[in-house]
Structure 1
């Protein structure tokens, strides 16, 4: 392969959220951190080159957005997702969670219910509860080793008055790529009951071979009109530290509310570095992404096979997208504290403990597969050894 995803890069002492907090968060410095969702790979060369050129300008003043940045976004979604976006639909935001939080504040009132499909990315709970709204859970159904939507339960929540849905597509932590029929059925309910959809599609570019992400707002003009899609290049090209994202909203009323609030918070200024990085990634990152997905898919296959052989009591959910792997460890008989003790103290690894994604995630773990195979192997070996020693005592 042209790009080396097996190279070990020492990220220690770089103020890395993932690598420089091990002792503080997990009680020991030698933890293998396969938790927070950034990658242990360099971004595409074009990104690095444009950031170096930008840095060499030497004056880091206030910046304005460029037309070429938005053109790169339009081109990317047309090429990769068959989605025709208009330039005026795009509004920059500092981050996906910022957009989710603003949406909850703007489109509901204190005390209102907001629908989420649990288990789900844990900031979904924060942006609802910290805005003094109520979490309206529509738990996903586990069928045939994958999550499916509970439409009957969803309709009941809508009948009871919920008017906002936070959709996670592709799903994190389950790795589901929602199919067209599933999304259309969901959309039909939203149209029937007047529900606005905030669709978090940050993992949209990370569908595994054989799967294709479908943007919710691309399904019809009617669904586009009730949807705000939150997007970013940060997961795709490993740019989260640049703090950049954007929303896509064809409905001018929804978009104007966002833009006014962003300006009120003085979050509307263009980042000095981010737009150049995103533009370079979208214009020159196709081959890099293709090879990244191949590497992550290989890591997923390797991890699943390894765990099935070495630790068959654990059930693994094969991801259709993302670089995240969900493991059902309930057979170990451990609560959240017990799983953390097993990971940190006994195995020397840090995965995500599942209860943070909701009560449905209790007894589960989430592994970040976006790392060199050698690092993944060490983490799996350490965890398997510790888990096997635990089961031998049961």
Structure 2
């Protein structure tokens, strides 16, 4: 697999994942498997395109155009059977930045915004920081398989929820929502006039046997407003280049969000981000195919290695490179679990409770690394579990 057998040295690059280990865990001996970027070198065609752009030597004011829009349109159509109009595309530095602008323009202070926990933790922080009312609809966990609680979702919508932030595919539980599930969410949203903001940044990272369906591609969308958020950054390990796009068919909403970016002075993208997007979406297919193979290998390795242990359950991931591990059978408090994982096991995972109260006893593990690195982590974990038996 291209570039996937060699572990890159990321220390000294101001890497959040690697250069903050001491600060976050109080020790340099903790093996980080947390923040959602990859310990994998980017695809050669992207690297080549970036080199050529850097060699040009000038990084002046940059704009997006119809040619770039076509690259996005073709990718989304070919990979997700989703027809996108060029005028509907709004670029931004990141998905979260677009969610911020959406909250500011489409809701008022104290308005209710719903998320389905456990879910990507910045959602709840953004809602609170903008003085909106956080509403949660917990997902149902049935022996390691999560589903939406549609009865509760309707109950919450009835209270006057203004916006729902949907995570699809879902981080951290790894669900790839089925078309039937998404149809039901849409039906309820239309009935109760709830704006759907669909974070689909993990759309391309789906395992065999599953298929991502963009919420806005559903036949029953009709005139109901949906904002779709996508990016090549998770797919191709480009997060630091800050490039994403929103698909917003509703002209009024699209104009309001674009104007908000102007008000905050966010009107231009990083030229290297533009270069990377174009190269990724036109020349990155082979690399992505190899990546899915690697992630499948690593996911299977984690599942088979931990299967004999009753004290930990691996939630069956259908997408993303993040695994949701249930340690509740260890009988520890969440604080004790976190301390044990860092101090005794020597692994730096994401604390599950950060994703919602129903994440207590869970940890999120990033498997986007060479298999040897995942094997090293599993050796530490199984040794520690054996010692507790």
- Alpha-carbon distance between aligned partners in 1 of 2:221 and 2:327, rounded to the nearest angstrom: 42
Q: Is the 8 A contact 1:164 1:196 kept in 2?
A: yes
Partners of 1:141 and 1:349 in 2: CA distance:
28
Cα distance in 2 between the residues matched to 1:312 and 1:271: 48
> Contact 2:50–2:272 at 8 Å: present in 1 too?
yes
Q: Deviations over 1:190-222 (max 9, x none)?
A: 111111000000000001011110000000363
Q: Does 1:66 align with 2:97?
A: no
- SS of corresponding position for 1:346: helix
What SS does the corresponding residue of 1:302 show, helix, strand or coil? helix
Tell me if 1:9 matches 2:8. Answer: yes
**1:359 is aligned to 2:349:** no
CA offset at residue 17 of structure 1?
A: 0.8
What does the per-residue CA deviation read over 1:237-292, in whole Å, with 9 as the maximum and x for residues that have no partner?
Answer: 00000011111011111111110000111112132211110010000111111110
- Structure 2 residue 326 is the aligned partner of structure 1 residue 342: no
Partner of 1:83: 82
SS state at 2:18 partner:
coil
Please name the residue that 2:379 is paired with. Answer: 381
Q: Decide whether the 8 Å contact of 1:217 with 1:223 is kept in 2.
A: no
Distance 1:301 1:224 in 2: 42
Partner of 2:166: 167
Tell me by how many angstroms 1:143 deviates: 2.5
Offset of residue 135 of structure 1: 1.0
Separation in 2, partners of 1:381, 1:38:
22
Distance 1:223-1:147 versus aligned 2 partners, 3 A rule: farther
Query: CA–CA distance in 2 between the matches of 1:279 and 1:146?
Result: 36
Whole-angstrom distance in 2 between the partners of 1:180 and 1:134: 29
1:139 matches 2:153 = no
The corresponding residue for 1:196 is 195
Residues 169-198 of structure 1: per-residue CA shift (max 9 Å, x gap): 001101001001110011001111111000
| Map 1:31-180 → 2, pairs under 5 A | 31-180=30-179
Counterpart Cα distance in 2 of 1:341 and 1:64: 48
Instruction: For residue 150 of structure 1, report the CA deviation from its aligned partner.
Output: 0.7
Aligned partners of 2:109 and 2:132 also within 8 Å: yes
Q: CA deviation at 1:225?
A: 3.9
* Residues 229 and 249, structure 1, Cα contact 8 Å, conserved in 2: yes
Question: 2:118 touches 2:355 (CA, 8 Å); kept in 1?
Answer: yes
How far is 1:223 from its partner?
A: 5.2
The aligned counterpart of 2:213 is: 214
Does residue 184 in structure 1 map to residue 178 in structure 2? no
How far 1:55 moved relative to its partner? 0.9
Contact conserved, 1:217 with 1:224, CA < 8 A, in 2? no
Residues 344-353 or 334-343, more deviating: 334-343
Q: d(CA) in 2 for partners of 1:76 and 1:68? A: 13
What is the SS of the residue equivalent to 2:325?
strand
For residues 304 and 270 of structure 2, the distance between their equivalents in structure 1, rounded to whole angstroms, comes to 43
Counterpart contact for 1:300–1:318, Cα < 8 Å = no
Aligned length: 389
SS in 1 for 2:323: strand
Q: 1:312 aligns with which of 310, 313, 327?
A: 310
Contact 1:230 / 1:247 at 8 angstroms: preserved in 2? Answer: yes
Cα distance in 2, alignment partners of residues 250 and 221 from structure 1: 15
**Greater mean alpha carbon deviation, residues 294-303 or residues 221-230:** 221-230
